[in-house]
Structure 1
Amino acid sequence: MQQVRNYYVILGVSQDATNEEIKKSFRKLARQYHPDVNPGDKTVEEKFKDINEAYDILSDETKRADYDSQLLGKGKRRPNRISRNGTPNSDNSYRQDSDFWKFKDFTPATTKRAKVVTPSRSSRRDVEAKLIIPLEKAYQGGRERIRLEDGRSLEVEMPPGMISGQKIRLKGQGLDGGDLYLKITIATHSIFELQGTDIYCQVPLTPSEAILGGAVEIPTIDGLVKMTVPKGVRPGQRLRLANKGYPDASGNRGDQLVEIQIVIPPEPSEEELELYQKIRDKEKFNPRQYLLGN
């Protein structure tokens, strides 16, 4: 009997966890196990893939429901989980599987068996498998090792600039001489969000950085770069870094969209408080003036 991977354990949440709890745990783990934080550590890289695979399933209501049905065991009762409409759902107990790849009719976030594409007299079958990869790997390309249900391990040369839904054909690696098609899914990133060929992210600034402007370091898919923040930038305002987005089929890159967030220091020092007090004593701007009818 094939076993279903325990995505709840991978993300460190319970089966009745809310979407917000799942998202919070994913972001924490994604930062901890990101390949850029642990360069050259293949174990951490595999862990990062597992975390993204688990989040891809559990963050989607439909995928999560399908996945939960895979966890059901006869005669076993699962704990209740409250759905979005307030109706309790139930989960059954499960068993965890350490294999990354599963070929069967349907296993969430892993693979599925494709239909026979050759004449019925032939036993050759093409197989489609889902491959979840980090955004950086999709952007850079390079060699990626995968494991198949029959125990084979393959190294695949990935092209740069891959997108979700793209398929890579491995000739003769399917069933009985058929082909294997890897369907690419780009994992949810903890910082960046793809919007077509543009890459969106949020960058926090201190009040003084927002008022005075200047150069600040921000992350991009190519690494850290310095961006000039104009004086008096507003929260929610978007700045654009030209040609720092994702490449299209022709190799032309989009832009990076940087949304400004202004963050108040949680524990300002006594000296900082004194300076803020001096500013308040001298400032003339009153953002509530229109409320006073003046």
Structure 2
Amino acid sequence: MQQLRNYYAILGVSKDATAEEIKKSFRKLARQYHPDVNPGDKTAEEKFKSINEAYDILSDETKRADYDRVRFGKTKRRPPRPQPRPSRNGNTNSSSYSRESEFWRFQDYNPGSTKRAKVVNPSRSARDVEAKLNIPLEKAYRGGRERIRLEDGRSLEVDMPSGMIDGQKIRLKGQGLQGGDLYLKITITPHAFFELRGSDIACRVPVTPSEAILGGSVEVPTIDGLVKMTVPKGVRPGQRLRLANKGYPDASGKRGDQLVEIQIAIPSEISEEEMALYQQIREKEQFNPRQHWL
């Protein structure tokens, strides 16, 4: 580990936190400190980097175990992996061997992280291997040529198709063992702001109280960049607005929608002039959300 930071404290979880608890905390903090939500705030930007660094380590079982070993001197006991059993003639049992006995290691886009690559067909002299490739949502959407690095020292250029989905495989002919093929299995990493729901993309966008009451135009991030969205007058917290054809492409290339959930943000500090205006509104307003309680 290059730096022994307390990643559990950074994500606000205990050292016994489950993978789901870690993911939930990461998503909450990443939304809070995302640069799009805090433009120009260097403190939030550094916090966002630390959150991503912590999640990169703690969301990966192997890296988390290595981190715990260094930081705490021990790791949780995990069930042992099945070992290949030799057959009577001394050869490795093919069903066990194909599952666990021979591995490459593949380095994904996250600095310092590794994913195992398993042999797909060990019965041939030329062997196919499979490696997991973690990529961000924007890269999965746009595709394009990317250079990746394998831990055996090789560096490969890959033409990534656009609109990739979780579990999709990219075949690199002749890049496996002894002339076999290498299959990159795509995993889209959780995004700090967007959430894939089929071909739709969900997100939450904060608006001010005045924007919620008066309506108006606000800028909203999409995977294509910022777009203008009209907020209707009197929009409610939790109400969802739809940006047509701004979602993710499906297998046919047709795009879904972006679902924008409205959140009303209350400022922590306001000026004296703003305070005076709010006081005038309170004196004049007739709306009482508690009038039917009794």
TM-score by length of 1: 0.71
Cα separation, partners in 2 of 1:171 and 1:53, compared to 1, 3 Å: farther
2:31–2:193: 8 Å Cα contact kept in structure 1?
A: no
Q: Secondary structure at the match of 1:162?
A: coil
Structure 2 stretches lacking a partner, 5+ long: 41-48, 79-102
State the distance in 2 between where 1:109 and 1:163 align: 21
Identity of aligned pairs, percent?
A: 62
Q: Secondary structure at the match of 2:211?
A: helix
Consecutive unaligned residues in structure 1, runs of 5 or more = 38-47, 80-88, 92-101
For the aligned residue pairs, the C-alpha RMSD in angstroms reads 3.9
Tell me the distance in 2 between the aligned counterparts of 1:53 and 1:265.
29
Partner of 1:230: 232
* 8 A Cα contact 1:213 1:233, kept in partner: yes
Which secondary structure state, in structure 2, belongs to the residue aligned with residue 114 of structure 1?
strand
Under a length normalisation based on structure 2, what TM-score does the superposition of the two structures give? 0.71
Counterparts of 1:290 and 1:25, CA distance in 2: 34
Alpha-carbon deviation of 1:162?
Answer: 0.3
Residue 134 of structure 2 is aligned to residue 135 of structure 1 = no
For residues 4-57 of structure 1, give each alpha carbon's deviation from its aligned partner in whole angstroms, at most 9, with x where no partner exists.
x6897596857838546962797289846xxxx9xxxxxxxxxx8x98686366
Would you say the 8 A contact 2:57–2:64 is kept in 1? no
Give me the whole-angstrom Cα distance separating, in 2, the residues matched to 1:25 and 1:13. 14
> Quick check: 1:290 aligned with 2:289?
no
Answering whether residue 116 of structure 2 is matched by residue 117 of structure 1, we say no
Map of 1:58 onto structure 2: 58
Alpha-carbon offset, residue 164 of structure 1: 1.1
Counterparts of 1:17-96 in structure 2 under 5 Å? 19=21, 23=26, 27=30, 31=34, 55=55, 58-59=58-59, 64=61, 67-69=63-65, 77-78=73-74
Shift in Å, 1:221? 0.7
Give the secondary-structure state (helix, strand or coil) at the position aligned to 1:251.
Answer: coil
Q: What is the identity, as a one-letter code, of the residue corresponding to 2:181?
A: D
C-alpha separation in 1, matches of 2:150 and 2:278: 61
Note the alpha carbon deviations across 1:147-180, whole angstroms, 9 max, x for none: 1122110010100000111000000000100100
Q: Residue 166 and residue 244 in structure 1: after superposition, are their counterparts in 2 closer, same or farther (change >3 A)? A: same
**Matched residues, number:** 248
SS of the residue 2:119 aligns to: coil
